[in-house]
Amino acid sequence: MVTAERKTIEERGQEMAAVKRARMQTGGERVYPFVRLKHKDILHLPRLATGESGFPRNRFEEDLRFHPTNGEIYSTRWAHLHTDVDEYGVRSIDDPYDYTYINGPSPYYAPEDLPKSGDPIGLVVNQVWDGLETAIRQQQHILGRYNPADLNGEPQSLRRIAHWVDESAVRLREGPVSEKDLESMSYQAASLIEEAGLGSSLDQTRFKIATMLRNACRKDSLSRVNPLVSRTRLRSGLLAATQRIVVGELVTRKFSANLGVLVAEREFTRDDLEQARDKLSQLSDELSTDPSFAIGQARQIAYDHLSFPRVAPYLIPARLSGILLVGCKEEKKDLNRQVLGDGVANDIYGLPSLVQSIGEGEVAEAKRTIEWVDDVLGEALTSNPIVKENIFDESAIVAA
């Protein structure tokens, strides 16, 4: 009978790391998603990419939401929730009654009575003030932290740790190992921990990496130099580092997708506003010579171009301009009042629209309306400068 060769601690660690990587990349982790009760309304807002409120199947998929009334943009991310087990063996998250479970294909899980295995995660909701351009800067700022070309960034620091773990495991395996060897390893580990910013990290995985690296350079519980124990601790550090590396890759994937959605939204929105301005400039000449054409053109501008913008800071100027061109139906006045605010709504609801002025032969009034709309759209375009799209351009990254 042929006995299979027993795998080393390091070989087993590499296998475990590969399994963990594959599970995380395919969304195979066992997690229980929760959201704070005060943020649960976010689940009903439409996603910017799809226009539907359905939740992503994977927590690292794109997920940007917007409020249809005021155009506010919301970004989301996930954070691990701390758990405790009481004297009766019941596992719960901290402040469980502040959370509600996000229903999905799995059965309902109560935050105050969780399964013994698996990780509860909480949806963190971030309202992006000032709208689209600020949201783009936010995604760039997050991506900048995971720039693989940055030698001082987290991805490179973690890869240096993984390389050091491999080298240290070889030294421990081949031996002999003395107290001086452990002391030397301890200095190297301390340097890597400081370089990666792990020493004071509140993140559970980052803290575990630092702890395992330090412990691997110490004697065992009997105050002996024990290469086997050190190698086992290094393996735990490697698994934690692998998890953090994969998280960085998945975060990059998610926020790159977010950025793509936001840039596309910006391009479509600004293009509609610019086309509206271009077509408006041609209207003045048609007011006297062909009023029917001018009315049709005004309606086309309002319905084909000014009805698309849906997020701040372009929603209000577009909605205001559309009402100035074609007016507002009675049944939509309450909704548009929420968009524009009472003051603006009260001012414009009593004014004649461009279409009305043209129909009544009020050419001078119609021209004033065209100039007003052009000013509104021009201000929206010029007062919101475009953010550079190079996500790793230092000059383009501004903390949101």
Averages of pLDDT over each 10 residues, the chain, 400 residues: 71 88 82 91 90 77 91 90 92 94 75 91 89 92 85 88 94 92 94 87 84 94 93 94 90 93 96 95 83 93 96 96 96 94 92 94 93 96 74 35
95 torsion bin: left (phi>0), alpha (psi -120 to 50), beta (else): left
CB-based contacts of 100: which residues, under 8 Å, 6+ apart?
34, 35, 37, 40, 111
Distance, in Å, from the CA atom of 195 to the CA atom of 193, rounded to the nearest integer, reads 5
pLDDT at residue 171 in the model: 93
In the chain, the number of structural domains is 1
pLDDT at residue 25 in the model: 80
Asked if 382 and 274 count as a contact pair (C-beta separation under 8 A), the reply is: no
The CA-atom distances, in angstroms, between 341 and each of 69, 130, 337, 369 are: 11, 16, 5, 20
pLDDT at residue 274 in the model: 96
Question: Does residue 80 form part of some domain?
Answer: no
Question: Does residue 136 form part of some domain?
Answer: no
Question: Does residue 196 form part of some domain?
Answer: no
Q: Whole domain around residue 378: which residue ranges?
A: 268-382
Distance, in Å, from the CA atom of 314 to the CA atom of 132, rounded to the nearest integer, reads 8
Question: Does residue 286 form part of some domain?
Answer: yes
Question: Does residue 231 form part of some domain?
Answer: no
Question: Does residue 76 form part of some domain?
Answer: no
pLDDT at residue 46 in the model: 93
Question: Does residue 19 form part of some domain?
Answer: no
Question: Does residue 280 form part of some domain?
Answer: yes
